[in-house]
Structure 1
Amino acid sequence: MIWYALFLLVVQNAAAWRYTDDDLMSFMTLPDARAVRFDIETLDRNRTAPGYWFVSPYLHIEPDEPSSEYEQYQIGPHIYDEDGILIWTGSMQFDNRNVFDFKAINSFDNKTYLSMILQYSYDGGERGYGMILNEKYETYRKLPLRTDLGVFDIHEFNVRKDGKSALVTVYLSEEVELTEFGRPNEKTFLEIGGFAEIDTTTAEILYDWKSYNQIPLSETVHYFLDSVIEGPPGWDYVHINSVDKNEAGDYLISMRFTNTLYMVSGLDGKIMWRLNGVNGGDFDSDFLFSKQHDAKFLESSGTHHVISFLNNASDEEFQEETISAALIVEVETGTTPMTARVVKRYNRPDGDLTRLRGNSQVLPNNNMFVCWSQGGYISEHSPEGDVLMIAKFTSPRFSNYRAYKFEFTGRPTIPPDVVASVWGTDETNLVTTIWVSWNGATDVVSYNFYAQASEFDKPIFVGNISKAGFESMFMAAGYVDWVSVEAVDRNGNVMGTSQVKRTRFPDWENVGWSGYSSQPRPQNPSRIFQSVDGFSTDKSIDDSSFASFDGTAEAQNRKTTQTLATTYDAIRSIGGMFALILLLAVMSGIMASYLLIRGWRVHLYQRVPKEESYAEEERLRPDDD
C-alpha cells in the first residue's frame, strides 16, 4: 500500500510540474512572451570571460503541431547575461519556432552579426533557412538550401570568417543494396549524411559531399549484419552533426554513429584520415571517444591540427565511458605513425553523461564554455580545468542543442515597450506605475520618464531610474497619463524613445473608490512636476488650483474633517477615564498622608557604583552576627 501511495505522490508532483509556469519569466511590457529561467551557480566570477549566453530553448526537437490553445511565446533564440537576466527574446519574431545553432559571428563589415538555423515548418511549407541578423535584429541574409539537398538540417550553420560562404550539414535518403553486410538480395533505404558549402549572398552550392561510397556500412556502430531493413528515410548509419573548414580548404566532419572524425579533401572529396572509429582509425592515440559532437579546428597548419569537440561517450542505447567531457586534442599527421594526444579535458561538472547533442567553445581568454544540452545545462571552465560557473534551466522540460558565449552589442530599431497603470482609493493616494523594457538593447543604464496633459501637450519629465533587469518599474505619485520613456546610456545619451502610451485604469467602483469625484481624472503633470535642466523635483501646488483640477484638495479637506471628528470623539471618550484616574490619585495621596502620620517609614536602597575597592559597599552591609 505504501508503494502505491508513493507512486500517486510522484504522479501528482509530475503533473503539477508539467502545468506550473514557475520556470518561466513574465513581463508586463511583453505579455505574450515567457522566457525560460536559469538556476545559476557562479563559483568564480572574476575568472569568467565577458559576454552573453546565446541559447535557443526548445520543447521538442521536431516542429510541434499547431494547437488551437493559446500559448505564450517561449522557444527560439534568446540572449541572457551571466546572471540569467534576459537581454533579448526572438521567440515572437520567429513565431515560436525552433531555432538551432544560434550564435554571434564577426564575418561582415567588421561588425558582430547573429546567425542561426530556422527549422523547417511543421507542414513542410517552409524547408528551413540559414538566417543572419544584424545588430538591430533585422534579417541581413535568409539562405535556403537547394531543393535536391533536402530540408535545411538543424545541426550546423557555420559561417566562414570571410563571410563569403557557410557550411551546412545535409541528410539525403537513397535505397542501397546490403551486399556489404552479406545480404546481396536485400535492399534498405539509407540516410546518407553529408555537407555543403553555400554562398552567403546567392545561396549557390559551392561544394557538396555525401558519405555513401566514401564511408562503408561496416564503419557504423548503429546498425549490424542482421539489422531489419527500413523504408524512407532509412538507416541513419553515420549521422553527421558538424563540419568545419581550414585555411587549406579541407573539411573536418563528425559522424556520431561511426565514433569518428574525418578529414575530407577539398580537392577530390576523398577521406584523408580517420580519427578513432571501429577499426581504431589512422592514429596512434592515447584516448578514445564516442558519439561526439561539434568538432572544430582551433589550429590547422600543414600536418599539425588542434581540434575541440564534445565527447558524449554515450547515446540512447550505448555507454562507452562513465562521464562526458569536452576535449582539446592535438593531431600530427607528419609522423609515422600519425599521433593524436589529449591536450585538455573538461569533465561534465555533475559527473553525468550527455547522451544527446551538445557543443564546446573555446573563449577568447582560453576558458572553455560547454553546453551539455539536456535541461539547458551549461558550464564554464578555466584553462586549468577549474569550474567557474554552472547553470541550467529551472525546469527539465526545455533543452538546448548548442549554447555559446559572445560579447555583443544589440541596437534594436523598435522602440522601448511601455505599460502604465494607475491605482488608488481616493484622490490623495493615487499612484501611477510605469513598466519599461527594450528587447535586445545591451547599453541601457537608465530610463527617463515623461507624462503629458494630452496627446498633443509637451512631455513633462517626471523621474529617472537605473535599469533593473530586463524590465524596470517606476512609480509616480498621482495620476499621470500619456506616458513615454527614454532609454539612456552610460554617457547620458538618449538611445531610444518609446511611443506615447495611455495609462490604464481599473474599474474604480470595484476597487472601492471613495474619492471626491465619481472617478479620478488624470492630473496635469506640469502642475505637479517642475523640470530643471532636464531633471525634475516633485512640486506640490496650492490647494485652490489643485481643487479646480481634479478634486484632490477637496478630498484632503474631507479627510482632515473626518480626522478631527474622530479625534474629538476620542477626547470625549477619554474624559471619563481621566476623571477616574484623578480620583484614584487623590485617594492615594490621602492614604500616603495617613501612613506618615502613623510613623511608617519607607527605606530606599540604592546600590553604590562598584569601584576597584569594595570599601563603600562593605559599609552598607549589616553587621555580621
Structure 2
Amino acid sequence: MNTVTLLVAHLLWLSAFAQDTDRDNTTEPLSTYVSRPDLKAPALNVTVQDSYDTGYIFICPYRATQTGPYIFDKAGNLVWSGYNVTEQNEEAQINTHELRICAYQGSDHLCMWKGTQPSGHGLGHSIILNSSYDVVQTFGTGNNAPLNDFHESWVIGDGETALLTAYNPIQYDLAAYDINSNPQWLTEGMFQEVDVSSGEVIFEWHSSDHVDLSASYVLPGESEVSGNGTSATSGWDYFHINSIAKSSTGDYLISARHTSALYYINASDGSILWELSYGSPNSTFSFTTQFNFTFQHHARFLSENDTRTIISLFDNASNDFNETATQSSGMVISLDLEAKTATLIDRTYAPIPGGILAGSQGNYQVLDNGGTFIGWGSVPAVSETNAAGDPVLYATFGSYVYNYRAYTYNWTGRPSDNPALVTPAQPENATNPLLAYFSWNGATEVTQWRLWGSVNNETGFQELDIVDKQGFETSWSSGNYTPFIFVEALSSEQESLGNSSTVGVGRRAGNGTVVMPTSVPLNDTISPSSTASSSSSPTGASGTGAAQPSQTGAAVLVEGDAGYAVYTGLVLGGIAMVFAML
C-alpha cells in the first residue's frame, strides 16, 4: 500500500459522484456530495471577494435541477439545501421564493413562499421555519382571495402580521383594448395585511379601484406575462404588483411593474397619497436629476420624517421587450414631500464590464453597514458593495436558472437530524486505507469534526482524529483501517453538537441502510494516522447529542439516480481496494 494507490482509490470513489450531465456545466453548474448523494445544489462561482460583510447568501433558484431554498456562505460553500422542504419529490412543479430571515415570536426564523407558478405570478402560501428547519407556521390570504403570490411575502412586527400580494382575475370591459371575448378578463393587483396566527385580514387593496387601466405600459398580449384578456387564467395583467412595504405611520408603499410606478397607499381608505413615476402625468413628484426607472421591483423605506422620505428600489430598466437603459441598477431616491421633487442620491450597478440588464425580477438590499446587496433576478448572480460603493462580492450560478430575490443575513442553524457519514466499502483487514465523507446540512456552528473508531463495535470507541470543517462536506483518509467509525460535530468552543450513526466500514449495509449498534466508549487502541480535506461537492444532515453514535442513520441510501450513484461508488471503491492489495 502506498500514497499513489490510496489516491487512486479516492479518485475512483469520487468518480461515481461526477456532476449531472443533463444540463451544461456552464448554464447550470451543480455540486454533488458523497455524504448526501440525494442533493444536487447550485454551484456558486465567486469571482469577487474582498472584505465583505458578515452573513450568508439566501437564494431560491428555480428552473433548476433541484428547485428550492438555499443558504451559502460568501466563499460559495453550501450551508443548507432546503430542496426537500418544498416536497420536490412529489411536487415537481412547486417553486419557493423569498427566503429571508424574519423575526417570529421573539427569535430569528426562516420565512419563504411556496407554491405553483403560472406565467408571471404565483398561487401558494407562506411558511415559517425555525432554526432546526422545521415548519412552525403556514399562512396565506383570506377573505376568499386568490392564493397568495410570491412577489411579496413579508412577515413584520415579530411575526404578528404579514404583507402578501395576490393576482385577482375579474370580469371587466376591455372592448377599448380590442378584446372581443365574452366575457373579458382583467387580472388586477391586490394585497393584504393578514394576521399570521389567525388568518384575519387587517387590510385589503385592489388596483382596479384606484389605478386606471390607461396607466399601463404593457398592453394585452404584449409580453409573456401580460395575459390576453380572454379568460380567467389569461386575464390582462395591467398592473403587476411586485412589492409592499409598511411605513412607520402604518401606510403602505407598493410597486407596480407594468405601470412603472410606486404608490403610497392610505391605510385608512386605500386612496393613493402619492405616486412616483418618471413618465406618468399622475406622478406627484418631478425628477430633479437626470434619472428614471422602469419595470422596477422591491421598493423599500430607508428613512421617513414629516418633510422627507428616502426609499430604495431595483430598477430593471427593461421588461425583455422594452428598455430605458443599458443596465439595471439599485437606486436610493430622496423624496421632498414639500417641494414634491425626487432626487437620486445613490446608484449601484453590477461589478462586471457592461453591467447587467435584468428583464425581470431582482432586488436591492441596503445593509446596516451602509453597503448594498443585490440579487440580479433573471440573471442568476448576486453582488455586494461596501459603504464606499466598492464591490466586495460577486457570484454567479450559471445562466439557465432564475432567482426572484436574493438576500444576505446572519443566521444560526441547528438542524434536528444527524450529521451524514459515508465511507466506501472496504475489506476488513488492517492494511487498507480508510476513507470517510461527512457533512451536516444546515448546521452553521460546526468548526471541527472528531472521528471515533472501534475495532469490533463492542469493546468501545477510541478517538481517531480531530479535523477542521472545510466547506459543506469534509473528506478524511487514514492509512490505518478501522472497521467501525462515527463522527462528532464540534463548535468553536469544542462543544459537542451532534453525532452521526455508526458506519461499518467493511460492509455496504453500514453506509446508511442498517444502523450499527452503539457501544461503551474506549478500549482498543487505534493509530490516528490520517489526513482531512474538503470534498469537491457539498450537503448534509443534522442532529444533536454527546460523543456517542447516533441511533438513527444519517447517510441514507436513497432510490433512483442518487441510490445508483451510491451503489456505483461503493463498487468502484471496492474495485480500487482490490487493486490496492495486488
The normalised TM-score by structure 2 is 0.77
Confirm or deny: 8 A CA contact 2:485 2:503 kept in the other structure: yes
Verify: 1:344 aligned to 2:336, yes or no. Answer: no
- The change in CA–CA distance for 1:502 and 1:375 in structure 2 (over 3 A counts) is farther
1:210-359 aligned within 5 A: 210-223=206-219, 229-233=229-233, 234-276=235-277, 277-279=279-281, 281-286=283-288, 287-333=291-337, 335-336=338-339, 338-350=340-352, 351-359=355-363
Q: Which residue of 1 aligns with 2:164?
A: 168
Q: Give the match for residue 108 of structure 1.
A: 105
Task: Mark the CA change 1:385 to 1:17 in structure 2 (over 3 Å): closer, same or farther.
Answer: farther
Partner of 2:48: 42
Could you say what secondary structure the match of 1:479 adopts?
A: coil
Task: Quote the offset at 1:183 in angstroms.
Answer: 9.0
> Can you give the 5+ residue segments of structure 1 that lack an aligned partner in the other structure?
1-14, 61-72, 508-523, 536-625
What is the CA-CA distance between 1:98 and the residue it aligns to? 1.5
- Higher Rg: 1
Letter of the 1:130 partner, please give it: S
* Cα separation, partners in 2 of 1:185 and 1:82, compared to 1, 3 Å: closer
Q: 1:428 Cα shift? A: 5.9
Secondary structure of 2:317's counterpart equals: coil
How many residues end up aligned between the 2 structures? 481
Structure 2 SS opposite 1:212: helix
Name the structure 2 match of 1:18: 23
Question: Which piece of structure 1 moves more, 303-312 or 259-268?
Answer: 303-312
Residue aligning to 2:418: 415
Q: Distance in 1 between matches of 2:526 and 2:221?
A: 83
Distance 2:131 2:109 in 1: 6
Distance 1:19 1:343, change over 3 A: closer
Deviations 1:255-297 (A, max 9, x none): 0000100000000000111101432611121331100000011
CA deviations 1:388-418 (Å, max 9, x no partner) are 221110x212221100000111111111111
What is residue 15 of structure 2 aligned with on the other side? none
Q: Distance in 2 between matches of 1:141 and 1:440?
A: 19
2 CA distance for matches of 1:117 and 1:410?
19
C-alpha displacement of 1:360 = 0.6
Name the counterpart of 2:480: 478
Query: Match of 1:598?
Result: none
Tell me the SS of whatever aligns to 1:529: coil
Residue 172 to residue 42, structure 1, CA distance change in 2 (3 Å): same
Change (3 A) 1:173 1:453: same
- Structure 2 partner of 1:518: none
1: CA distance between counterparts of 2:341 and 2:522? 76
Shift of 1:103: 0.8
Superposition TM-score, scaled by structure 1 size: 0.72
CA–CA distance in structure 1, aligned partners of residues 165 and 174 of structure 2: 25
Higher helix share: 1
- SS of the equivalent of 1:166 reads strand
Residue 31 in 1 paired to residue 37 in 2?
yes
Amino-acid identity (%): 28
Q: Deviations over 1:579-607 (max 9, x none)?
A: xxxxxxxxxxxxxxxxxxxxxxxxxxxxx
**2:498 aligned residue:** 496
Q: Which residue of 1 aligns with 2:395?
A: 391
1:34 and 1:182 mapped to 2: Cα distance?
47
Which of residues 353, 363, 366 is equivalent to 1:362?
366
Give 1:455 shift: 4.8
| Higher relative contact order structure (alpha carbons within 8 Å, sequence separation ≥ 6) | 2
Offset, 1:201: 1.2
- 2:314 is aligned with what amino acid? L
Rounded to whole Å, the distance in 1 between the matches of 2:504 and 2:525 is 18
Q: CA contact under 8 A between 1:119 and 1:127: conserved in structure 2?
A: yes
2:11 alignment partner in structure 1: none
Does the 8 Å CA contact 2:255/2:299 hold for their aligned counterparts?
Answer: yes
1:320-352 CA distance string (max 9 Å, x none): 11211100111122x14x111111011233323
Distance of 1:232 and 1:504 partners within structure 2: 61
Q: Which secondary structure does the structure 2 equivalent of 1:206 belong to?
A: strand
SS at match of 2:503: coil
2:440 paired with 1:429: no
Query: Which residue of structure 2 lines up, in the alignment, with residue 511 of structure 1?
Result: none
C-alpha deviation, 1:87, in angstroms: 0.6
Distance (whole Å) between structure 2 residues aligned to residue 504 and residue 75 of structure 1: 36
**What is the aligned partner in structure 2 of residue 119 from structure 1?**
115
Cα deviation for residue 181 of structure 1 reads: 5.9
CA distance in 2, matches of 1:28, 1:160: 39
Q: Which runs of 5+ in 2 are unaligned?
A: 1-19, 89-93, 510-520, 529-545, 548-582
